[in-house]
A and B are shown apart, each in its own frame.
Chain A
Amino acid sequence: MPLVTHHYHTPPSGCESVGKVDATDSAQLFEAMRGVDAVVNAVAGTSNVIRANARALYEAAARQPQPPRVVYLSSMAVYGAASGVVDESSSLTQNAGGYAGAKVEAERIARGYPRAVILRPGCIYGRGSRQWSERIARWLLAGRIGDLGSRGAGFCNLVHIDDLVAALLNALRQPDIEGECFNIVMPGSLTWNEYFLWLAQFHNALPVRRISEKRLLFEGSVLAPALKAAQLVARLLGADSAAVPEPMPPSLLRLFSQNIRLDGRKSEDRLGLHFTPLMTGLRTLK
C-alpha cells in the first residue's frame, strides 16, 4: 500500500513510502496517485492546508485515466455546535471559520467528486491517540480534569482507532457507497465524565476529582493562553516544548459539555462495522 506523507516517516509494515509530497500541489498528487485503485485522504493541517488539499486532491484524482475512489477522513467538527442526535443528514455548521469551516468546505469539494466516500469519525481513542487518550490520561493524573459536573456531561462520541481502521478498509472495499458519508462512532451515550472515570481507572488515577466550573474557566481563559505562550517561547529558544503542560483550549472545554450525540447506525448497516466495546478498547491502552 503506497503511503504519501509530507514528513519523512518510516512506513509501517505492509506500506511502501512513495516519498514526500506536498498535499496541496495537484501535480505532485497526480503523480503520487498514478495507477492506484483508491486513495485515503487523512491530511491534517491548518484550515488553509485542508482547503487547498481538497481542491488539489480531487482535481488530481479526476484527471487520472481511471479516477480512484477517495475515502476522505472528515470530522464530527462539521456539525459545529449542534445538539441532540445528529445523523448524516443533519445540517452542517454554517459560516464557521477555522478547522470546522475548512472541513465543511473540504466535504463540499469532495461531494463534487463522484467517487468520494466521506467518513466523519468522532473522537478517536486507543493506542497512540495523543488527543483523546494520552493527553486526557495526563490531565487526569495531574488532577486537572476528573468529574466536571455539568461541564463534562456532553456525549463523548468515541471511536476506537481499530474501528476507524476497519471503517477505512470497508470504505475502500464496499460497493455502492460512493457519494455517501458516514458517522463513525461507537453506539451508546457515554458522557465525558464517564469516559474520564473509566480512563482514570485504567491509569490508576482514582478517585477522580470533582473540578469546579471556576477552575475550568481558569484553565480555559488564563492557563491555556499562558501555556500556549510558554510552548511558543520554549520552541523559539530551542527548548523542549513538550515539557510545558498542555493547554486546555476553551473550544475543547466547550466540547466536553456539548450535548451532541452522533448516530453511527448507518456505518453499522452499510459499512458492516462492529464497534469495539469501551472496556475492550481501553484494555488496548495497556
Chain B
Amino acid sequence: MILDASNFPDGHQLSAHICIVGAGAAGISLALALEDAGLDVLLLESGGLKAEHETQDLYQGTVSDEHLHSLPDRYRQRRFGGSTTIWGGRCVPFDPIDFEARPWIPHSGWPIAYGDLLPYYGKANELCEAGSFAYTVGKAFEAEPRAMIVGFKSPHFSTDTLERFSCPTDFGRRYGAYLRASTRVTVLLHANVTALSLNNAGSALNGATVSTLNGRTMTVRADQFVLAAGGLEVARLLLSNRDVHSNGIGNNSDLVGRYYMCHMAGTIGAIKLNQPNKVHHGYDVDMNGVYCRRRFALSSATQRQHRIGNFVARLHHPRITDPAHRTGLLSLLYLAKGIIPYEYGKRLHGEEHLSAQAILLHLRNVICDPFGTALFLIHWLRYRTLAKRKFPSIIIKPRAGLYSLDFHAEQEPNPNSRVRLGTLRDALGIQQLDIDWRYTEGDVLTVKRALALLSDDLRCSEVGSFEYDIDSVELEMTRYGAYGGHHLGTARMGSDPRNSVVDSNCRMHGIDNLFIASSAVFPTSSQANPTLTIVALALRLADHLKAVANRRQYVSAANPERAPRNEKASPVPESIT
C-alpha cells in the first residue's frame, strides 16, 4: 500500500513491526525482502513519487571546499526511489580483500568477510536488474568476447573482471507497483523523519517523529527501526538527536560522520595503442541483454605487495574540453553542456570556461565530422534515449587513436574527513549538514603506484604506451573533487564500539532496536561502486531482522490489525493509486 502522510491528520499515531526510514535502493530492497515475513513494515519516505523542489531543498547544506565536494543537495535525490532515480547503474561487487584488515590501510577491516555477503549478491544483482552474479568474463559469457587489448599481459592487472550495468533501475518505479499491492508493507510518502526518541537509558528507540511540509506531525512506534536514508542523511539523523545521547545517537565515541569516504576518480594521460583495431574498450552484452565491460583491475596480490588500496581503470575518450581531440561528437558534448544534468556534466566538462577560440575549434570539429556525429546520435537515440535498458556511456574510438585513462580508486578511511551539523536549519527545523571531505597521502599513493604499474605493463607487453605527467596525478584525481553520489563510512561497521558505530548485523552498538541499511556502514570503500553492496547488505539485514522477529515471537500472520495502525481513531487516507 502507498499512502501520503500529508493527507494524515495532525497527531496521528502509526505502528508497525519494522519501520524503515528512506525508500531508496536500501530501504526498498529491505522492504521487499521482508514482504513475506509475516511482519508489518512501514517504509517512511521523505519525498513523493516525483521530484519536488521543496523536498529536495531539505538536502541543502554547506561544504568546506566546493572545489573538493559538491553541495549536499547535488548527487542525491530526496524522493521515492532515492538516488536510484538518477544513478548510472554500474554494478560491481566488493573484492574479498576489501573486507580484510590491511595493515597498510589505516582503520581498514570489516567484521564480516566477503563470504558473508556472497549469498546475498545474487539477489542484489537481480534487484538491480544487472543480470546474473557473474563478474568474470569466463562466468558471464559462453564464448569469450574480444580481448580488451590483444597481447596485453600484466602481472598486476586483470582485464577479465567485469562491471555490469543496471537498466539503470529506478527502484521506486520498478518496485512501486509491487509495494502498492502489498498487504504487509505500507509506504508513507512525504513522511520526513525529524526526530528519533530513545528510552531514558538510551538503549532502545521508542519511536520516531514524522513531519510533513504541510505542517502535520505524527509519531511512529515499531519494534525495530532501520535508517536507510542514504550515507549522508543517516549521519545527520543520528547527530541531530541529542536529547538522550548528548553527542547524538550512537556517537559516544565521536565516530558518527567521521571516516567519510567517496572514491578517488579522474581521467589522465594519453594511451597510444600500437594496433588500434585490436582494442575493445566498449561493452559486451550477456544473455540477459545486460551491458558488461572489462576494465583493468589491480590484483589483490599487487595491492598487498605495494601496500596500496584497490584500483580499477578503463580506456576512455580524450578530455572533452580540449578541442585537439578533433572528434565531432566530443565537441558536440562540450557545446551541449547546458542540457546535460549537473551530475553527469561535471565529469564531462567540469566547470571549465573556454575561450572563444576554443569554442570555435569545437564548432569546427562538429562541422568536419558530421557523419561520425550523426551516427553516434542515431545510436544514442536508439540505444539510450528510447531503450529501456540503456547503453551505459559514451564509447567512441578516438580519431587520433589516443585514449585517456579513466580510473576509480579506493579512498582510505580518514577520521578527519567528516560530515557534521552546520549552523543553518532546513524548513523542518533540522540542522543542515556541513561536509568537510578530505583525502590522504595514501590515496594519492594508491593512484600514483597503480598508474605507474599500468604504464610499465603496457610498455613491457609491447602493446602501446601510456604517458602522463606524474606531477599532475593529484590534480587530476581531485580535478572534479570527491566522486559524486558515493557517500560512505559515516556510521562504520565494526565489532568494537570504541571504533565503530554499528555491529556486524548493522545494529547500532548499545541500542537494541536501531539498525542502519546504507553505505554509511562501510568501513572501507573498495574500488567498487556502492549500490550493489548496499542492496546485498540490506538483504542480509532482512534475514537478521526476520530471525530477531522469530526469536521474539511477534510474527503473527493472523494479526491483521497490526498493519500500520491508526491508534487514534482518525480517518486514514486512501491509498495512492
Which residue of A has the minimal Cβ distance to B286?
Answer: A207
Q: Given A83-B181, A211-B388, A150–B289 Cβ distance below 8 Å?
A: no
Min C-beta distance of B524 to chain A, whole Å: 33
Q: Does A267 contact B (CB under 8 A)?
A: no
In the complex, per-residue mask of A175-213: 1 if CB is within 8 Å of any chain B CB, else 0 = 000000000000000000000010011000011111110
Contact residues in A for B287 (Cβ distance below 8 Å) = 197, 200-201, 206-208
CA A241 to CA B573, docked complex, whole Å = 51
Q: Are B181 and A259 in contact (CB under 8 A)?
A: yes
**Contact at A147–B181, with CB atoms within 8 Å?**
no
Is B387 interfacial (CB-CB < 8 Å)? yes
Residue in B closest to A215 when the chains form the complex, CB atoms: B388
In angstroms, Cα B169 to Cα A150, docked, is 10
Contact with B along A126-160 (1 / 0, CB 8 A): 00000000000000000000110110010000000
**Interface 1/0 per residue, B172-187 and A, CB below 8 Å:** 0111011001010000
**B375 on interface, CB distance cutoff 8 Å:** no
A257 at the interface (CB under 8 A from B): yes
- Decide yes or no whether B34 CB sits under 8 A from chain A: no
The residue that B175 contacts in the complex, of A146, A147, A150, A212, with Cβ under 8 A, is A150
| A207 & B167 in contact (Cβ 8 Å cutoff) | no
Residues of A within 8 A of B183 (CB): 84
Q: With A197-B287, A210-B289 as known contacts, state yes or no: A149 contacts B388, CB within 8 Å.
A: yes
Quote the shortest CB–CB distance from B44 to chain A (angstroms).
23
Question: Given that A147-B389, A149-B167 are known contacts, is A208 also in contact with B177, CB under 8 Å in the complex?
Answer: no
Interchain pairs with CB closer than 8 A, number: 44
Q: Is the CB of A207 within 8 A of B388?
A: no
Closest-by-CB residue of B relative to A146 is B289
Which chain B residue has the least Cβ–Cβ distance from A200? B287
Whole-angstrom CA separation of A241 from B181 in the bound complex = 39
- B470 / chain A contacts, CB cutoff of 8 Å: none
- The CA-CA distance from A206 to B131 in the complex, in Å, is 13
* Distance between Cα atoms of A153 and B286 in the complex (Å): 20
What residues of A have a CB within 8 angstroms of the CB of B387 in the complex? 210
- Which residues of the partner chain B approach A210 to less than 8 Å between Cβ atoms? 167, 289, 387-389
Question: Given the complex of chains A and B, what is the CA–CA distance between A206 and B287 in angstroms?
Answer: 5
Find the residue from A146, A206, A207, A215 having the highest chain B CB count within 10 A: A207
* Contact indicator A208/B178 (Cβ below 8 Å): no
Closest to B389 in A: A210
Q: Are B174 and A150 within 8 A (Cβ)? A: yes
Closest to B183 in A: A84
| Residue ranges of B at the interface with A (Cβ–Cβ < 8 Å) | 129, 167, 173-175, 177-178, 181, 183, 285-290, 387-389
Give 17 CB contacts A-B under 8 Å: A146-B289, A150-B177, A150-B178, A153-B178, A197-B287, A200-B287, A206-B287, A207-B285, A207-B286, A207-B288, A207-B289, A207-B290, A208-B287, A208-B289, A209-B289, A209-B389, A211-B388
